[in-house]
Amino acid sequence: MPTPLLVLLGALLATYASQMILAAIGFARVRSQPVPEAPRSWPAVSVVVPARNEADGIDACLDSLRAVDYPSDRLEIIVVDDFSTDGTAERVRARQPAGRVEPADDPVRLVEMAATEDTNGGHKPAALARGVRAADGDVILTTDADCAVPPAWIKSMVRRCTPETPFVAGPVEYEHDERFLPRLQALELTGLVAYGAGTIGVGLPTFCNSANVAYRRDVVTARETAPDGAARDEMLLQYLAYDTDRGVAFNPDPDATVRTTPPGTFTGYLQQQARWAHMGLRYPFSVPRALVVGLWAAHAALFVACAAALALPAWREPALLLLLGKMGADAVLAVPAAKHFGARGLLRSAVPTELLLLVAVPLIGILGTVGAVEWKGRPLD
């Protein structure tokens, strides 16, 4: 391998390793934070659940939400039906008690976008924004219609969602049933959650997962003024962190982990990841944009080196050393994260997960940036 190229690859991997070490430090910080005391009076909470064609999973989601440990007179659950064509709204209505008058009868409210709008050109962010406008709670929580939440979820998130720290991101994990591809996705998601938490911990927030987010009502106005971000949670996270004097936080409590299922096929996995990567270059703040681009560049450069090493024997040893170095950097963050969230068994899949990422991340970055990206059958802008 030519020396200048080796130096360039080494620099990219060193930068990547620095990011992982920094994120590991931040993750250690958020884990060491003391659990806040419960408020004297629990605030009114609205859980917003955007749903598009989720008839098969919405029952399990709402069952878990109805079972949360939170005062019933302080809780409402708003399902926003986003022009579903599979009977999602009918499923929600079928589970509501007849003659419902007060929230105490059943906390679930159904908001149908089709009743007030002709189309939804804003996709999931617009559905979230519609639910927020309908919400009455002082604290807003969001999750997805294919997720299940634990009983302690709301109290755990609300404890940390204070006027000084009005935005809290929480952990999300995949159920994998020991199947090969879902296990790899589960370990990857654990690393992504830990990376997002770690960047919050060192004061350089990047992204979060809208399946587990809480924020106070008074930051709703920030949704309207955040650049390109009226209902994009990572935009609100970044806006509050970089453009205001208010704080953001990550909730490391394993009892607040929201669970969902991963895509069942490699194609579905690529499509989902491309959606997640879609906003990376569109972040309005330079720090998270640079961090995300750095993650992609390191994977892309290493992929090219490893692909070339298959044909060029002289490249094999340096490419292998770079790959092992990258795996070691990932382990600095992934190992403590897997242990913290009770997922040590996933570490057995570390090597195949690394190989998956080596191929998938460069492809995902390209698809998310220049490819046609869809969500629920609708193209994203």
- The CA-to-CA distance between both ends of the chain, in Å, stands at 41
* DSSP bridge pairs for 49: 79
Instruction: Report the pLDDT averaged over residues 84-105.
Output: 78
Residue 217: band (very low, low, confident or very high) from pLDDT cuts 50, 70, 90: confident
Residues facing residue 161 across a β-bridge = none
Compute the Cα dihedral for 211, 217, 221, 225 and give only its sign.
Answer: negative
Give the C-alpha separation, 301 to 358, whole Å. 10
pLDDT at position 244 is 87
pLDDT at 27: 97
Average pLDDT value over all residues in the chain: 89
Q: Cα-atom radius of gyration of the chain, to the nearest Å? A: 21
Distance CA 328, CA 375 (A): 34
Helix (H) or strand (E) holding 267: helix 266-277
Highest mean pLDDT among 185-189, 231-235, 311-315: 185-189
pTM: 0.91
Confidence of residue 128 (pLDDT cuts 50, 70, 90): confident
> Residues 244-292: pLDDT tens digits?
888 999 999 999 999 999 998 999 898 888 888 877 777 888 999 999 9
- DSSP assigned state of 378: E
Residues 6+ apart with CB under 8 A from 208: 169, 196, 233, 234, 237, 250
- pLDDT tens across 13-28, in order? 999 999 999 999 999 9
pLDDT of residue 117: 80
Q: Which regions of the chain does DSSP assign to beta strands (E)? A: 45-51, 75-81, 108-112, 139-142, 147-148, 167-169, 172-174, 213-216, 248-250, 258-260, 374-375, 378-379
- 109 and 76 Cβ atoms separated by less than 8 Å: yes
- Give the integer Cα–Cα distance in Å for 181 and 353: 9
Q: How far apart are CA 123 and CA 119, in angstroms?
A: 9
Question: What is the secondary structure of 316-337 as a DSSP string?
Answer: HHHHHHHHHHHHHHHHHHHHHH
Q: Is 149 helix (H, G, I), strand (E, B) or coil?
A: coil
Query: Residue 224's pLDDT is what?
Result: 61
How many other CB atoms sit within 10 Å of the CB of residue 67?
A: 11
The pLDDT tens digits for 309-333 are: 999 999 899 999 999 999 999 999 9
User: Which residues 6+ apart lie within 8 Å of 19 measured at CB?
Assistant: 291, 294, 295
Task: Measure the CA–CA gap between 113 and 121, rounded to whole angstroms.
Answer: 12
